[in-house]
Amino acid sequence: MTIVAGVLAPHPPHLVYAENPPQNEPRSEGGWEELRWGYERLRNSLKPRDYDVIIVHSPHWRTHVGTHFLGVPHFSGLSVDPIFPNLFRYRYDLQVDVELAEAIAAQATAGGLHTEMMRNPQFRVDYGTIISCHLVNPAWDKPIVAISSNRSYYQYSNEVGNTQMLALGEATRIAVEKLGRRAVLLASNSLSHRHFTTESEVPEDMSREHVASHANYLWDMRVLERMRRGECRQLLDEMPDFIEQALSECKEGSLSWLIGALGVPDYAATVHAYGTVIGTGNAVVEWDPSRRKA
Ligand SMILES: [Fe+2]
């Protein structure tokens, strides 16, 4: 077993803001505890398992021609969320497992996907990658592989997008196994994604936080039940409708990539938390491949 865990690890900047880590400039009074405690439960669950690298697929590195991979060993800089610069101004400093990134890209290319390596050392790493990695491993003591979101769901269809992401997931798994890495995989997307268009004066005022609509809540629960029951095949079948009806951020492909890398799990996932952030549905969910049925 070389994929140690697969995680749905959403990236609302509010969760980092609420934690007050030294890297982030703005200060908060807390907020969104259920999700933050869920991330804490996830970190405790991963602790006994040794791993070498975190591989993250992020909705906010958007590439229009193929799938791109960070291809420089070290990146640092200031990441500012374009929508919430009041909440997220974060100094990052991260290492990349370039050998593994190149191996995944080569495997994906061999499988018919178009890939590119990002070789610009000045490249500003996207906030989805940074936030998911921070919440899973705030010590930043593991290298990462970062994968972009190609636009196939938008340019073609949800079905084409899913097909490509399943292939990318499979290529990821094969490359991880070839190199013998022990990897934790992160799908950085939220679930339902209709959000409020105004912000309260105190962003962490939890009296204002709730899901954007009952319909979105029902969709999120349906999707989480599929995960809890080990019904990922059915979840993939329903995902095009989920994307359209709940405006799901699954449209960026991260979750389908993860499901593909895990070989479409038929075993139960652990839901560490569900909560909303400015009305969007977010869950921290872990798949442990050692639970795969023989
Ligand atoms: Fe996002």
Q: Which domain holds residue 214?
A: 3-291
Q: What's the 280 CA to ligand 1 centre distance in angstroms?
A: 10
**Torsion angle defined by CA atoms of residues 75, 10, 243 and 165, in that order, rounded to the nearest 10 degrees:** 50
pLDDT in tens, 84-95: 999 999 999 999
pLDDT at 204: 98
Domain count, the chain: 1
Distance in Å from the first CA to the final CA of the chain = 13
pLDDT < 50 stretches in the chain: none
Q: What's the 138 CA to ligand 1 centre distance in angstroms?
A: 19
pLDDT at 277: 98
Q: What's the 257 CA to ligand 1 centre distance in angstroms?
A: 16
pLDDT in tens, 170-182: 999 999 999 999 9
Q: What's the 13 CA to ligand 1 centre distance in angstroms?
A: 9
Its pTM surpasses 0.85: yes
pLDDT at 292: 86
Q: What's the 1 CA to ligand 1 centre distance in angstroms?
A: 30
CATH code (residue 189): 3.40.830.10
Q: What's the 252 CA to ligand 1 centre distance in angstroms?
A: 9
CA distance 251 to 135: 22
Q: What's the 253 CA to ligand 1 centre distance in angstroms?
A: 12
Q: What's the 185 CA to ligand 1 centre distance in angstroms?
A: 17
Q: How far is CA 227 from the centre of its chain?
A: 16
CB 177 within 8 A of CB 262: no
pLDDT in tens, 119-134: 999 999 999 999 999 9
Q: What's the 134 CA to ligand 1 centre distance in angstroms?
A: 15
Q: What's the 129 CA to ligand 1 centre distance in angstroms?
A: 10
